[in-house]
Amino acid sequence: MSLYENSVILAPMVRIGTLPSRLLSLRYGADLVYTEEMIDFKMLKTRRVVNEMLNTVDFVMDDGTVAFRTCDAEKDRVIFQIGTCHAKRALKVAKMVEKDVAGIDINMGCPKTFSISGGMGAALLKQPDLVKEILTELTSNLSIPVTCKVRCLSTVEETVQFCKMAESTGIHALAIHGRTRDERPRHKCKHSYIQDVARELQIPVIANGGSSDIKKFSDIEKFRLACGASSVMVARAAEWNLSVFRKEGPLDKLELIEEYIKLAVDYDNHWTNTKYCIQQTLGSEVQTEQGTQLLASKSPEDIYTVYGMMDYYNSVHERHQLYLAKQQEVEER
C-alpha cells in the first residue's frame, strides 16, 4: 500500500513542523509527518552533517544554524517540503535529502507575500507549465515518492484540471487544501472541491483544511469521509494539540508539553522554537500564570524551570557534556 493511502498526516507548518513536533506526532499515531516548508535557496546554502552526539542528520548553514534536523526514528515517515519555483533547483535540494527522508513535497499553496512574490507557493497555481516541469524533473530523477500540496482554484473544473495535470507527471499523491489562495481559515473549507478531485484522480488524494472542526481523532475520519479522500492532513488542530493524533483521545496540554520538552531537550531544539511551539499549544491559556512566565522566558533554562523540567534537562545536558569532553580527548591524542 502506498504511504499516502489511508493515512493521517501532520501537515507542513513553518516553525511548528520541526523535529520534536514531528516525533511527538508519530508517537501519538500520525502515519506521516511533513516538515515545515524549506526554501530551496536556503537549503542550497547548507551542508549535511552527521551529528553523532544527538544521533541526527543535520543540514547546517555556514553560521552553524541548523536549517533541517532529522533522525532515524522518522526516516521512513518524514516528507520534506520544498518551497521553489525552479525545477533544477528543486531537484538539487531533493537530491541533498533523498537518502534521509521518505518523500518530497512541493508547496503550491502558500499565499504569503514572500512566497507569491518569489513565484513560489500559491503563485504556482497560475503556472501549470512550470509545475509540470518541476514535478516531472523530480519524479524522473528521484528514488523516493514525490507529492504536491495545492489549494482550490476559482472553479471546481479548473481545480480538477490542474490536479489532473499534476497527476500526469507521475506524482504519488496530491494534497489539497479546500480553500482558494485568497481565502483564510474563517472561510468554509470546500469539501465538494476535494470530493471532485478525489473522484477524478487515480492517485491518493489527501484532504486538508478541516481543522476548524477537528478536536479529536474521530473528527479526522469524519473530515476524510466528508471529502471522499484517501487520507487527511492536519495543520492547526495539531498546532493546538499534537495529541489530536491519539486514537484514545487528546491529552491534557500540560502532559503534552512535558513530553514535547523532553524531545526538544533530547534533540537540542533551538529554545526560541521550543518556546514558540509551546505558546501555540497554549493558545488562549497563555494568559495563565505559567503562560505569562513562559512568555517572559529568555533562555532554555527559563522555559524548563516554568514546566519543572530542569532535572531532565540537567541529566541530558550532562550526558552531552561528557560526550563532548570524550570527543575532545580523542582529538587531542
Catalytic residues: 110
Question: What residues numbered 134-153 form the site for ligand FNR, per CB under 6 A?
Answer: 149
- CB closer to ligand FNR out of 106 and 309: 106
Nearer to ligand FNR, 37 or 100 (CB): 37
Query: Minimum Å distance from CB 255 to ligand FNR?
Result: 22
Report if residue 110 touches ligand FNR, rule: CB under 6 A.
yes
Cβ 292 to ligand FNR, closest distance in Å? Answer: 22
Question: CA-CA-CA-CA torsion for 104, 107, 108, 112, nearest 10 degrees?
Answer: 180
Strands 78-83 and 32-34: parallel
User: Does residue 16 bind ligand FNR (CB under 6 A)?
Assistant: yes
* Residue 329 Cβ vs ligand FNR, minimum distance, rounded to whole Å: 42
Give the list of residues 6+ apart from residue 180 with CB closer than 8 angstroms, or none: 151, 152, 153, 154
Bridging pattern class, strands 66-71 and 32-34: unpaired
Residue the block writes with cell 538539487? 92
CB 57, CB 35: distance < 8 Å: no
Binding region for ligand FNR (CB under 6 A) out of 6-14, 50-58, 285-293, 314-322: 6-14
Q: Which of 208, 231, 243, 274 binds ligand FNR (CB under 6 A)?
A: 208
DSSP letter at 245? G
Separation of alpha carbons 12 and 31, rounded Å: 14
Q: Which is nearer to ligand FNR, 43 or 309 (CB)?
A: 43
69 contributes a contact to ligand FNR by CB under 6 A = no
User: Least distance (Å) from ligand FNR to the CB of residue 81?
Assistant: 6
* Beta carbon of residue 160, minimum distance to ligand FNR (angstroms, whole number): 19
**Beta carbon of residue 277, minimum distance to ligand FNR (angstroms, whole number):** 10
How many residues in the shown chain lie near ligand FNR by CB under 6 A? 22
Question: Cβ atoms within 10 A of the Cβ of 299, count?
Answer: 10
Rule CB under 6 A: say whether 107 interacts with ligand FNR.
yes
What residue spans of the chain are helical by DSSP H? 19-28, 40-43, 87-97, 113-117, 128-141, 156-167, 191-200, 217-227, 236-240, 253-266, 271-282, 289-296, 300-306, 310-332
Site string for ligand FNR, 224-243 (x = CB under 6 A): ----------xxxx-x----
- Nearest Cα neighbor of 313 from 262, 258, 270 is 262
C-alpha cell at 312: 531532565
Piece of 39-47, 50-58, 102-110, 293-301 that binds ligand FNR (CB under 6 A): 102-110
Binder of ligand FNR out of 12, 20, 204, 250 (CB under 6 A): 12
183 versus 259: smaller Cβ distance to ligand FNR:
183
